[in-house]
Amino acid sequence: MFASALPRRAGAGFKPEHFADILAEPQPVGFFEFHAENYMGAGGPPHAQLGRLREDYALSVHGVGLSIGSMQPLDRDHLARLRVLCDRYQPESFSEHLAWSTHDSVFLNDLLPLPYTEATLARVVEHVDQVQTVLGRQMLLENPATYLLFAESTIEETVFLAEIVQRTGCGLLLDVNNVFVAATNHNLDPHDYIARFPLAAVREIHLSGHSESVDDVGAPLLIDSHDTPVKDPVWALYQTVLDRIGPVASLIEWDNDVPAWPVLRAEAISAQKLLDAATRRRAA
Amino acid sequence: MKTTIATLALAGSLASALAAIATPATADDSKEKCYGIAMKGQNDCAAGTGTTCAGTSKIDYQQNVFKLVPKGTCVSMKTPTGHGMLEPGMAPA
Amino acid sequence: MSATFQSAFASGLFGTTPAPVGLAAWNTATPERRYGVYRNNVTASLTTALASRFPAAENIVGPDFFRAMARAFVAAHPPRSPVLLAYGDEFPDFVAAFAPARDLVYLPDVMRLEIARGQAYHAADIPPLDPTVLAAIDPARLGALVFTPHPTLSILSSPYPMVTIWAMNAGERPLVPIDDWRDEHALVARPHLAVEVTPLSPGGAVFFRRLTTGATLATAAESAMSEHSGFDLSDNLAVLLRSGAFTAINQDDSDENPNHA
């Protein structure tokens, strides 16, 4: 099985509107990540652009629609499409979310939360196994940004993820912004969450911005909106992770109100500086 | 249908067509060179990029569409029935 | 999470009913606003996906009206696939039957043109027919040629100035009054990387529609001429060659058969 192998550098989420700027000069990023579902057409400019990026950069395929946390069987047609995409681009990594998004035949286009029970654990493990078998590669599973909890949950999220890793051999995509968002939303300490997280399985990190709202009783409710620069407490949390595990592939995600390329690039450079410092500390 | 169009007419038309396309087309080839990238201000991308792995901070308030009226360019577009398209009963309540 | 509970969670996302039982939060037993975040994400992300597929339609009705109309469509026709590139194919028909938009009679056809462009954008990449191939054909056999449509090709017809209205709302042409309010027809194709919209005459629309459904060149030309006396064959052959609408030609040997339609 092909193990996930992104360079231990900063990367950026690829947006078509940045393509010309990206090609204009060598960019200080180690890889680009793209959403699988937006490249499931047969041809056209999307594939022309990816093919060109592939010549110069490592690629990460990030699925957003597989619905791994669904209680119903995985969509075999969709798995086949992912297989075609991975065969075509031979990406260094494939990742998906600990979430669900399809029910019956309706695709809800959001990453919906899952109660953590023995039953859902068994289902997710079965699905991750199936994905890895069909794709012939290790996948990375991402921790979710959640807004609510379930009365029936009996397992801590970090334990739930560790169990999946142990039973399937998948890797983890640690979204540090999601950790901060979810911890705030559930009145928990994000550093405590990181301390409990199975960090040895982390192969990629996500960094992004969030926005602030309030819940039913006026408490802070953060939204994982990917529409701002990475916020200071998230950078601090990222630094903590790097201190623990050293440099790891780190992606800046910016999906709403997408800025001009130089802004996204500057965010990636900020991440790269922290990665470089982590590399120097490892060498020292 | 039995074909009746003269071979001569077809051949002549094809010859004129081939001559016409031999002159450089006005189509903008530069678009092709840059992987289909749209020029600024043009909605040429047609990508329909729609998936998301992010939430949204913008609240999508439910509005009563039966009380809304179209307010885009349709208001100024001239049609055989005049400018605008609103029937009296369609104004906001 | 039982399948039943997942079902309740999902079905509430498109409605306004209270959040399903079984949800929790650290500070309340009824996290309506928290559930509302998911509800908002689903509708907002899908209406945004539609806006990106129908930018001219959004300009025509304005963003507020478009969002309200898209919201109604999303609730009635949620996507059935995680690939959203083709989501909204039924939107023009929905708009045609949507009472608040009923005076915008041309809007569904403009949206169909936007769909054709989107399909062309994502369809397979195949080199278009090389004009020299056609030039080399024995003139006696031209009439019996049948053409293989390019996977990106669509032919559209509207009783309204669909192409003009689309172009003015897609930034292709300045927005000016339309004095010549009449039917318009278009050929949409992407021979290489750029999607091209080529206006057609009414006869041209007949000609290309017949060709795409397998008629021979002679039959298609005759249909166009008999329906529209002003049909200009050489102009339309130039469009055929320049637009990249077809990928290959074949000889239909049954063409001499009088029973062949």
Concatenate the DSSP letters of all residues of A42-58 into one string: SSSHHHHHHHHHHHHSE
> Can you tell me the distance from the alpha carbon of C192 to that of A4, in angstroms, rounded to the nearest whole number?
34
Q: Which residues contact C192 (CB under 8 A, 6 or more apart)?
A: B32, C128, C244
> Can you tell me the distance from the alpha carbon of C205 to that of C156, in angstroms, rounded to the nearest whole number?
7
Task: Please determine, for residue C145, whether its predicted confidence score (pLDDT) is greater than 90.
Answer: yes
> What average pLDDT score do residues A86-93 get?
98
| Residue C169, pLDDT score | 94
Q: Which chain B residues are within 8 Å of C46, Cβ to Cβ? A: 50
Q: Number of folded domains in chain A?
A: 1
> Can you tell me the distance from the alpha carbon of C97 to that of C65, in angstroms, rounded to the nearest whole number?
15
A14 burial type by CB count under 10 A (0-12 exposed, 13-18 middle, 19+ buried): buried
| Residue B22, pLDDT score | 84
Closest CA to A172 of A229, A128, A119, A109: A128
| Residue C133, pLDDT score | 93
- Asked if A16 lies within 8 A of B55 by C-beta distance, the reply is no
Q: For residue C248, list its beta bridge partners.
A: C148
Choice between A199 and C177, residue whose per-residue pLDDT is larger: A199
| Residue C258, pLDDT score | 44
| Residue B82, pLDDT score | 63
Interface test with A, best of B52, B53, B56, B59 (most A CBs within 10 A): B53
**Sheet containing strand C154-158, strands side by side:** C154-158, C184-189, C196-200
> What average pLDDT score do residues B22-29 get?
58
> Of A71, A119, A215, which has the smallest distance from its Cβ to C31's Cβ?
A215
| Two tokens, residue A159 | 């334990």
DSSP-assigned states of every residue in B51-84: --SS--SS------GGG----SGGGT-EETTEE-
pLDDT tens, residue by residue, A48-74: 999 999 999 999 999 999 999 999 999
| Residue B91, pLDDT score | 34
**Residue A2 domain-assigned (yes or no):** no
Radius of gyration of chain A (CA): 18
| Two tokens, residue C103 | 């005076």
3-state secondary structure of C45: helix
**Residue A3 domain-assigned (yes or no):** no
Q: Which residues contact A25 (CB under 8 A, 6 or more apart)?
A: none
Tell how strand C184-189 and strand C154-158 pair up.
antiparallel
Closest CA to C64 of A203, B58, A90, A110: B58
pLDDT tens, residue by residue, C17-43: 889 999 999 999 999 999 999 999 999
> Can you tell me the distance from the alpha carbon of A47 to that of C193, in angstroms, rounded to the nearest whole number?
10
> Of A16, A37, A224, which has the smallest distance from its Cβ to B54's Cβ?
A224
**Residue A133 domain-assigned (yes or no):** yes
- With an 8 Å Cβ cutoff, is A221 touching chain B? no
Q: Which domain CATH number covers A177?
A: 3.20.20.150
DSSP C26: S
| Residue B7, pLDDT score | 79
- Asked if B13 lies within 8 A of C234 by C-beta distance, the reply is yes
| Residue B83, pLDDT score | 55
Domain residue limits, chain C: 1-104, 126-261
**pLDDT band, residue B64 (cuts 50/70/90):** confident
| Residue C44, pLDDT score | 93
Task: Please determine, for residue A135, whether its predicted confidence score (pLDDT) is greater than 90.
Answer: yes
| Residue A172, pLDDT score | 98
Task: Please determine, for residue B89, whether its predicted confidence score (pLDDT) is greater than 70.
Answer: no
Closest CA to A10 of A277, A270, A278: A270
Task: Please determine, for residue A139, whether its predicted confidence score (pLDDT) is greater than 80.
Answer: yes
**pLDDT band, residue C197 (cuts 50/70/90):** very high
Q: Which residues 16-75 of chain B have a CB within 8 Å of chain C?
A: 16-18, 20-21, 25, 27-28, 31-32, 35-36, 41-52, 55-56, 58-60, 62-66, 68-74
- Asked if B10 lies within 8 A of C139 by C-beta distance, the reply is yes
**Residue A121 domain-assigned (yes or no):** yes
> What average pLDDT score do residues C46-68 get?
94
pLDDT tens, residue by residue, C1-15: 677 889 999 999 988
Q: Which residues contact B30 (CB under 8 A, 6 or more apart)?
A: none
| Residue B68, pLDDT score | 85
Cβ atoms < 10 Å from Cβ of B53: 28
ipTM higher than the 0.85 cut: yes
| Residue B92, pLDDT score | 35
> Can you tell me the distance from the alpha carbon of C71 to that of A43, in angstroms, rounded to the nearest whole number?
30
Task: Please determine, for residue B81, whether its predicted confidence score (pLDDT) is greater than 70.
Answer: no
pLDDT tens, residue by residue, C75-121: 999 999 999 999 999 999 999 999 999 999 999 999 999 999 999 99
Question: What average pLDDT is seen over chain C?
Answer: 93
| Two tokens, residue C157 | 């017809």
**Residue A216 domain-assigned (yes or no):** yes
Domain enclosing residue A138, as ranges: 10-283
C157 burial type by CB count under 10 A (0-12 exposed, 13-18 middle, 19+ buried): middle
**Listed range (A24-33, A164-173, B71-80) with the worst mean pLDDT:** B71-80
| Residue B60, pLDDT score | 78
**pLDDT band, residue A208 (cuts 50/70/90):** very high
pLDDT tens, residue by residue, C235-248: 999 999 999 999 99
Choice between A144 and B90, residue whose per-residue pLDDT is larger: A144
**pLDDT band, residue B76 (cuts 50/70/90):** confident
3-state secondary structure of C133: helix
> Can you tell me the distance from the alpha carbon of C54 to that of A123, in angstroms, rounded to the nearest whole number?
38
> Of B35, B45, B54, which has the smallest distance from its Cβ to A255's Cβ?
B54
C25, C31 Cβ separation under 8 angstroms: yes
> What average pLDDT score do residues A122-144 get?
98
C164, C178 Cβ separation under 8 angstroms: yes
pLDDT tens, residue by residue, A2-24: 888 999 999 999 999 999 999 99
State how far Cα C126 lies from the chain centre. Answer: 20
E-only strand ranges, A148-197: 149-150, 171-175
| Residue B24, pLDDT score | 61
Cβ atoms < 10 Å from Cβ of A106: 17
A60, A251 Cβ separation under 8 angstroms: yes
3-state secondary structure of A106: strand
> Can you tell me the distance from the alpha carbon of C251 to that of C261, in angstroms, rounded to the nearest whole number?
15
| Dihedral sign of CA atoms A230, A232, A237, A242 in order | positive
Q: How far is CA C119 from CA A162, C20, C244, in A?
A: 43, 38, 15
| Residue B42, pLDDT score | 40
> Of C118, C143, C178, which has the smallest distance from its Cβ to B46's Cβ?
C118
| Residue B1, pLDDT score | 44
| Dihedral sign of CA atoms C79, C84, C90, C94 in order | positive
Question: What average pLDDT is seen over chain A?
Answer: 96
DSSP C158: E
